[in-house]
């Protein structure tokens, strides 16, 4: 006997009573079948409901041949009446995402004459796939249209149709359908065959926000959020923006421009710093000219600066130049020797001082995990 689906008669039903028709032990719990249920089973891209049935947790709900099975944490008495209660926050979230998806798909498919070829409602984000290439700027226009449709608060119509009556309706569907087909209509936005649960009015979707678009198969995949999810996501982004703006001493709406300015300043400073380093390194190179093997310790520097300093001194010292930059027991190094072969030394160095790195015979670079004293002792013997 097929389960009576209370979620179709009233998608806002959160509690109900039903009789237990069957209860069988299965992997990880008990499979419970009722005469009627408000628990939506997985289907049409919409995840299943969870909640409590007869005082025990319902962790999964599936449907097979019209029979809905509830995976329960403990057995329920067959023949008895039990009370069921949905995790309504979860279900309403699914309804907001699902209805929002229909509105967006309807508007997008009508504009581009394309099809929705995939819909996934994950725990975090929702994705829709279309078999058309749609640029981001145009998607933002459609996002605005979808939000307008949401706050125009249209009533949603859901009817069962079959046969010639069904043939007369222009609806979206992923496959050819027979028998009674449930047609979900968002007037002037979408008409689609669907087995999911929906809000009653478009206003209940609240808001829709597109997050990204990427190429997918022959078209695009759009990531979006609706309702409470969109609100929470945008609130988190807003908090980030406010914190960034405060750090930059600008208004939240000017944060991006301020970051761009900061990046410009940083690039200019890096350039200036590199120029100053050049003259400092040239001075060091002049000081060590002709002094043979040299071992230098410097404050933390970029790997590139270590390389350039070493190169400059190796050019003039006439021996082997080793530069270590860092502090404590973490140092970057560069060693250079004109016409030398440093590979053997580097191997020993890495082995003795917990280091890593290498390079060409005349020039090597890497890092060591040892104190300055240990580095000095190593070179004293070389
Ligand atoms: Zn649907």
DSSP string, 95-117: HHHHHHHHHHHHHHHHHHT--EE
CA 268 to ligand 1 center in whole angstroms:
53
Is residue 246 in a domain?
no
Whether the predicted pLDDT of 344 surpasses 90: yes
190 shares its domain with 288 = no
* Structural domain count of the chain: 3
Whether the predicted pLDDT of 167 surpasses 90: no
In the prediction, which pLDDT does 61 show? Answer: 98
Whether the predicted pLDDT of 175 surpasses 80: no
Q: How far apart are CA 326 and CA 363, in angstroms?
A: 19
Q: How far apart are CA 244 and CA 259, in angstroms?
A: 9
Position 179 confidence tier, pLDDT thresholds 50, 70, 90? confident
172 shares its domain with 199 = yes
Q: How far apart are CA 320 and CA 342, in angstroms?
A: 9
Percent of the chain scoring above 70 in pLDDT: 100
Whether the predicted pLDDT of 347 surpasses 80: yes
CA 2 to ligand 1 center in whole angstroms:
22
354 shares its domain with 226 = no
174 shares its domain with 214 = yes
315 shares its domain with 376 = yes
Tell me the per-residue pLDDT of 1-46, one tens digit each, with 9 for 90 and over. 899 999 999 999 999 999 999 999 999 999 999 999 999 999 989 9
Order of strands, sheet of 208-216, starting from the edge strand that comes earlier in the sequence:
116-121, 126-130, 219-226, 208-216
CA 363 to ligand 1 center in whole angstroms:
64
Is residue 316 in a domain?
yes
Average pLDDT in the chain: 96
CA 251 to ligand 1 center in whole angstroms:
41
**Facing residues of 186 across strands?**
190
Q: In the structure encoding, which two tokens stand for residue 372, read together?
A: 């300055």
- Rounded to 5°, angle at Cα 370 from 368 and 372: 105
CATH of the domain at 349: 3.10.310.40
Residue where a domain terminates, one of 52, 86, 120: 86
161 shares its domain with 66 = no
Asked if residues 363 and 309 have their Cβ atoms less than 8 Å apart, the reply is: no
Unique residue bearing structure tokens 């003795």? 352
In the prediction, which pLDDT does 9 show? Answer: 95
Domain holding 52, by residue range, is 4-86
Whether the predicted pLDDT of 173 surpasses 90: no
CA 174 to ligand 1 center in whole angstroms:
10
Mean pLDDT, range 374-381, rounded to an integer: 95
124 shares its domain with 181 = yes
DSSP string, 145-163: HHHHHHHTTPBPEEEEE-H
Mean pLDDT, range 298-327, rounded to an integer: 97
In the prediction, which pLDDT does 74 show? Answer: 98
pTM: predicted TM-score of the whole model, two decimal places: 0.81
Number of Cα atoms under 13 Å in the Cβ half of residue 35: 10
Is residue 222 in a domain?
yes
In the prediction, which pLDDT does 325 show? Answer: 98
97 shares its domain with 221 = yes
């Amino acid at each position: 006997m097929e389960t009576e689906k209370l979620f179709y008669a009233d998608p806002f039903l959160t509690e109900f009573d039903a009789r237990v028709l069957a209860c069988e032990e299965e992997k990880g719990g008990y499979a419970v079948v009722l005469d009627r249920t408000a628990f939506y089973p997985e289907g049409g891209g919409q995840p299943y409901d969870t909640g409590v049935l007869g005082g025990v947790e319902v962790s999964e709900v599936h449907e097979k041949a019209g029979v809905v099975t509830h995976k329960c944490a403990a057995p329920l008495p067959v023949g008895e009446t039990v009370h069921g209660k949905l995790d309504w926050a979860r279900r309403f979230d699914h309804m907001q995402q699902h209805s929002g998806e229909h509105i967006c798909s309807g508007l997008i498919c009508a504009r581009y004459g394309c099809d929705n070829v995939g819909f996934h409602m994950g725990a975090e984000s929702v994705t829709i796939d279309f078999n058309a290439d749609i640029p981001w700027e145009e998607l933002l226009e459609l996002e605005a249209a979808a939000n307008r449709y949401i706050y125009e608060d249209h009533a949603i119509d859901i009817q069962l149709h079959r046969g010639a009556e069904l043939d007369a309706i222009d609806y979206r569907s992923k496959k050819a359908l027979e028998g009674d087909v449930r047609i979900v209509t968002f007037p002037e936005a979408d008409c689609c065959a669907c087995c999911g649960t929906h809000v009653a009015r478009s206003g209940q979707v609240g808001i829709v926000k597109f997050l990204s678009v990427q190429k997918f198969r022959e078209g695009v995949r759009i990531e979006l959020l609706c309702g409470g999810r969109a609100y929470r996501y945008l609130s988190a982004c807003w908090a980030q923006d406010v914190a960034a703006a405060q750090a930059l001493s600008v208004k939240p709406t000017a944060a991006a421009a301020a970051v761009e300015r900061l990046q410009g300043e940083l690039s200019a400073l890096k350039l200036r710093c590199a120029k100053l380093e050049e003259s400092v390194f040239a001075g060091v190179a002049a000081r060590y000219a002709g002094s043979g093997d040299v071992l230098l310790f410097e404050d933390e520097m970029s790997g590139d600066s270590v390389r350039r300093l070493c190169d400059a001194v190796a050019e003039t010292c006439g021996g082997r130049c080793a530069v270590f930059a860092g502090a404590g027991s973490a140092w970057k190094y560069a060693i250079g020797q004109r016409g030398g072969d440093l590979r053997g030394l580097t191997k020993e160095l890495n082995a003795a001082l917990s280091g890593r790195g290498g390079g060409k015979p005349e020039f090597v670079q890497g890092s060591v995990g040892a104190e300055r004293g240990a580095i000095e002792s190593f070179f004293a013997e070389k």
